[in-house]
């Protein structure tokens, strides 16, 4: 099999705005960008909050976070009351998040993970916090080279993760708990596998994507759904990477299949 080389992302302004009204703005967050400045990241230069503020010419309030390596849907409030209501939707889990992840092994079509987590920086005697995530295996790939010499090939899955709680690194830690760590996860994944896979496709990155988000409008309460629709973002380098990855020969869909917003149809796996 010819080893593909995926393009490395190169972002310029402006940020991709997926939605904007008088109360909120929804953007596509590129991987590698922090949401805002922190004391621990003095060397970083790319911040969504400051870039978006300058782009639209008004103050913005962050209401949730995405990890630096994660790309996808990110919401900001445009006034303090909207910030309060949107933040409450995330706190009480009214907001529903949909992630896509590339994981080691073939993830089952449905897994309900109920595994309490301690914050990474919590004292050893701190209690673990309840954490639940629904995992759905969407597609599988049987790569014809073996990372592990005990097996004739290397199995990879496209997984949809639906977190029901909002613990830090919850999806990454729950997939690790299920023995399906995310490819490219330097903190909770397998470093040797990450490097092996990066060498196969010519790209090292965290394969975790905040694909869609559902929440009530902060003023009207109307249900809203925002999606980083790959059909509309085909010019974005990271979207191109995902689409090229899933265009590799050998991918097969489970009964769930890919969301229409991925813009791809895979052959159905025959089990």
The CB density around residue 29, as the number of other CB atoms within 10 Å, is 25
In sequence order, what are the residues at sequence separation of 6 or more whose Cβ sits closer than 8 angstroms to the Cβ of residue 17? 25, 26, 27, 56
CA distance 271 to 252: 11
| Selected catalytic residue, list 67, 92, 229, 271 | 67
Q: Are 233 and 239 in contact (CB under 8 A)?
A: yes
Q: Is 10 exposed, middle or buried (0-12, 13-18, 19+ CB in 10 A)?
A: exposed
Helix-, strand-, coil-residue percentages of the chain, each rounded to 5: 20, 30, 50
Q: How far is CA 207 from CA 115, 171, 199, 245, in A?
A: 22, 12, 15, 10
92 is catalytic: no
| CA dist., res. 215 & res. 155, Å (int) | 35
Pairing of strands 71-77, 208-216: parallel
d(CA 175, CA 75): 25
> Which residues on neighbouring strands pair with residue 226, listed in sequence order?
213
78-81 long-range Cβ contacts below 8 angstroms, 24+ apart: 78/22, 78/23, 78/24, 78/25, 79/22, 79/23, 81/218
Please list the active-site residues: 67
């Amino acid at each position: 099999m010819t080893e593909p080389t995926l393009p490395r992302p190169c972002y310029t302004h402006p940020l991709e705005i997926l939605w904007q009204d008088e109360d909120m703005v929804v953007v596509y967050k590129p991987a590698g960008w922090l949401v805002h400045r922190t004391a621990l990241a003095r060397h970083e230069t790319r911040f969504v909050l400051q870039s978006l503020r300058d782009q639209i010419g008004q103050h913005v309030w962050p209401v949730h976070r995405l990890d630096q390596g994660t790309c996808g849907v990110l919401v900001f409030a445009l006034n303090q009351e909207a910030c309060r209501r949107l933040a409450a939707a995330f706190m009480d889990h009214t907001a529903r998040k949909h992630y896509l992840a590339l994981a080691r092994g073939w993830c089952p079509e449905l897994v309900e993970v109920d595994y309490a987590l301690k914050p990474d920086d919590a004292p050893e005697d701190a209690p673990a916090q309840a954490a639940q995530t629904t995992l759905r295996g969407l597609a599988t790939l049987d790569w014809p080279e073996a990372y592990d010499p005990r097996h004739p090939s290397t199995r990879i899955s496209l997984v949809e993760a639906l977190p029901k709680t909002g613990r830090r690194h919850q999806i990454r830690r729950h997939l690790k708990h299920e023995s399906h760590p995310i490819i490219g996860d330097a903190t909770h994944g397998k470093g040797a596998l990450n490097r092996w896979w990066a060498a196969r496709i010519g790209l090292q990155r965290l394969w975790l994507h905040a694909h869609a988000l559902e929440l009530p409008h902060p003023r009207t309460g109307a249900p809203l759904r925002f999606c980083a629709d790959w059909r509309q973002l085909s010019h974005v380098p990271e979207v191109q990477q995902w689409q090229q990855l899933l265009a590799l020969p050998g991918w097969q869909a489970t009964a769930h299949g890919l969301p229409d917003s991925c813009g791809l149809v895979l052959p159905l796996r025959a089990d």
